[in-house]
Amino acid sequence: MSEYILEISNLTKDFPGVRALDNVSLKVRKGEIHSLCGENGAGKSTLMSVISGVYPKGDYQGKVLYKGHETSYHNVKDSEKEGLAIIHQELALSPYLSIYENIFLGHMETKFGVINWSRYIAESKKFLDTVGLNEPPETIVSKLGVGKQQLVEIARALSKKAELLILDEPTSSLNDDESEKLLNLILEFKKQGITCVMISHKLNEVLEIADTVTVLRDGKSIISYDVKNEKLTEERIIRDMVGRDLTHRFPERKSRPGETIMEVKNWTVYHPDYHTIKVVNGVSFHLKKGEILAFCGPMGAGRTELMMSLFGSSYGFRSEGELLLNGKKVRLRSSREAMDAGLGYISEDRKNLGLILIQDVKTNISNSSLKRFSRFGIVDTTGEIREAEKFRKELNIRTPSVDQLARNLSGGNQQKVAVSRTLSVNPDIFIVDEPTRGIDVAAKTEIYNILNDLVATGKSVIMVSSELPEALGMADRIYVMNEGKIKGELSHDEATQEKIMHMALVGK
């Protein structure tokens, strides 16, 4: 048998107005970890969807050989039967079902029409142990954070006896610690002979575990590197991805913080379901005009919950404490009130970015600021288009037009639309939760540039970031959180990765 488990030749896939894949050829060796890199919209997810039967044969041109045979899947189920498992960029779990139901959904066996639940609960425990998820199998999935949901997806793939595991940006919602664990898990799979294809924008991770790296650009396969035999660097991958050198990943900072615009005193937030648990516990901090603040800390530190509760009580059963804007005490009871008070929020959750996927790009961008685009209740479409076109250019949103439905955009480009929408509202305080998740290196720099320009005009930014280099590169001050509390504060000049991690664990 061939040493390759997967051989793709001359694959082309068109969508209306877009050639997503353009004559792609690529080979994946049996048992290797093969990384796929490329800018947002380069065609990575589409390629994986073709391989796994999301797009059935006839929907594309070219040839896909899996285990030596040409594939002709009608749907994903067909490919699963052959040991091919894909974990999509947007997690696809059923939120209201339990962990074990999600793991075995669609492939439970019945005996005389009866499902042996206790057997599946016991079996799911085995898979949860393998992926290192320490939760009762009966837990409802929506109660888990994104990182843990990711592990459930992997457990599900394992339960189907995957031989080729495709992971589309598996670490994008994980912090460094969690990512490290997941990467180790992938290395462990490799030892067991499972082949992995991993799509990632985190090039350091790619270099850490990949045996082969393939770069896609504009739907074309540009090059494949054998990592063992070549001295591959992040810069080299970026050059192939972007087609040019990218010199400054973090632009020069322009901020000159002024007076305090926001003050939070002794802020406590109670868990939405377990009303006595304090998810955020007595947090106090302040934000100045023209300042970028970063909140760092491990997953579950309470950063997102803190920001959401400040943004018009969007999280929590109840919150206590004081919020002052420009020295005045305010109570914001809804996100609408928060926006009216000058706050803007970009959510960390891809699925809940607030995008309306069945609407087009321009409507999504103008949605939160429709007042500006309407006169006497009628939407000024020209203004709307102009605004959308501006962001499309600034953030390089890849779409044939701003009339394209948001759901047809690649993951990273949807994120850019969400960022544009909040920018379009033009608030005084931007709360951005993982603003560059799933965004390619070049587009990240564009977003950093925009944040820098904002603070240069006196706006303020609060950034929740799990990427420490990003926090270190961008923030004037960093608050370190853990277990719902602020453990310490560091200025731009004194902050280092080590200090942040140390502070999160042991405090000052």
Ligand X SMILES: Nc1ncnc2c1ncn2[C@@H]1O[C@H](COP(=O)(O)OP(=O)(O)OP(=O)(O)O)[C@@H](O)[C@H]1O
DSSP-derived 3-state class of residue 59: coil
Q: Which of residues 84-113 bind Mg ion (CB under 5 A)?
A: 89
How many C-beta atoms surround the C-beta of residue 185 within 10 A? 18
Residue nearest to ligand X according to CB distances in the complex: 412
Look up residue 487 and give its two tokens.
């453990």
Q: Which residues contact 284 (CB under 8 A, 6 or more apart)?
A: 264, 265, 266, 267, 486
Q: How near is the Cβ of 82 to ligand X at its closest, in Å?
A: 22
Quote the least distance from Cβ 219 to ligand X, whole Å. Answer: 7
Closest by alpha carbon to 396, among 212, 182, 246? 246
Task: Return the number of the residue (312 or 411) whose C-beta is nearest Mg ion.
Answer: 411
Nearer CB in complex with ligand X: 89/319: 89
Of residues 71-100, those binding ligand X (CB under 6 A): 89
Among 15, 188, 223, 266, binds ligand X (CB under 6 A): 15
Three-state secondary structure of 98-149 = EHHHHHHCCCCCEECCEECHHHHHHHHHHHHHHHCCCCCCCCEHHHCCHHHH
Q: Which of 41, 137, 257, 488 binds ligand X (CB under 6 A)?
A: 41
43 binds, among Mg ion, ligand X, none (CB under 5 to 8 A by kind): ligand X
- The first and second tokens of residue 210, run together, are 């990949």
The verdict on 298 binding ligand X (CB under 6 A) reads no
Our finding on whether 411 is near Mg ion (CB under 5 A) is: yes
Contacts 24+ apart (CB under 8 A), 100-103: 100/124, 100/137, 100/138, 102/141, 102/152, 102/156, 103/127, 103/137, 103/152, 103/155, 103/156, 103/159
Spatial contact of 293 and 476, defined as CB atoms under 8 Å apart: yes
Decide if residue 171 touches ligand X (CB under 6 A).
Answer: no
* Residue 435 and residue 417 in contact, taking contact as beta carbons nearer than 8 Å: no
Shortest Å, Cβ 42 to Mg ion:
8
- Beta bridge partner(s), residue 216: 221
Residue 147 binds to Mg ion (criterion: CB under 5 A):
no
The least CB distance from residue 105 to ligand X, in Å, is 24
Stretch that binds ligand X, among 13-21, 73-81, 313-321, 363-371 (CB under 6 A): 13-21
Residue with tokens 């955020």: 280
State the number of binding residues for ligand X (CB under 6 A). Answer: 21
- DSSP three-state, residue 228: coil
Specify which residues 34 forms β-bridges with: 197, 212
Q: What angle do CA 111, 128, 105 make, to 5 degrees?
A: 40
Shortest distance (Å) from residue 17 CB to ligand X: 7
Candidate ranges 187-195, 342-350, 354-362, 407-415; the one touching ligand X (CB under 6 A)? 407-415
Output 89 or 319, the one with its CB closest to Mg ion. 89
Answer yes or no whether residue 34 interacts with ligand X by CB under 6 A. Answer: no
- Residue 58 CB, shortest distance to ligand X, in Å, is 16
Q: Which does 37 bind (CB under 5 to 8 A by kind): Mg ion, ligand X, none?
A: none
45 is a site residue for Mg ion (CB under 5 A): yes
Per-residue b or e along 432-458, where b marks 16 or more CB atoms closer than 10 Å to that residue's CB = bbbbbbbbbbbbbbbbbbbbbebbeee
Residue 40 in contact with ligand X, rule: CB under 6 A: yes
Q: Does 209 bind ligand X (CB under 6 A)?
A: no
Contacts of 244 (CB under 8 A, 6+ apart): none
Please report whether residue 170 would count as binding ligand X according to CB under 6 A.
Answer: no
Q: Which of 42, 103, 287, 451 binds ligand X (CB under 6 A)?
A: 42
Is position 344 an interface residue for ligand X (rule: CB under 6 A)? no
Query: Which range of residues in 117-125, 262-270, 294-302, 403-411 is near ligand X by CB under 6 A?
Result: 403-411
Q: Which stretch binds Mg ion (CB under 5 A): 177-185, 275-283, 402-410, 454-462?
A: 402-410
Local structure of 299: helix, strand or coil = coil
Give the residue at shortest CB distance from Mg ion.
45
Pair 1, 29: CB distance under 8 Å: no
Closer of 13 and 459 to ligand X (Cβ): 13
Interface with ligand X by CB under 6 A: which range of 43-51, 93-101, 239-247, 447-455? 43-51
Q: In 3D, which of 139, 95, 24 has the Cα closest to residue 351?
A: 95
In this chain, which of 171, 410, 420, 452 binds ligand X, going by CB under 6 A? 410
Nearer CB in complex with Mg ion: 38/427: 38
Of the candidates 326, 243, 251, 258, which has an alpha carbon nearest to the alpha carbon of residue 289? Answer: 258
Give the sign of the dihedral formed by CA 218, CA 222, CA 227, CA 231. Answer: negative
Residues that bind ligand X (CB under 6 A): 15, 18, 20, 38, 40-46, 89, 398-399, 408-413, 440
Which residue ranges make up the site for Mg ion (CB under 5 A)? Answer: 45, 89, 410-411
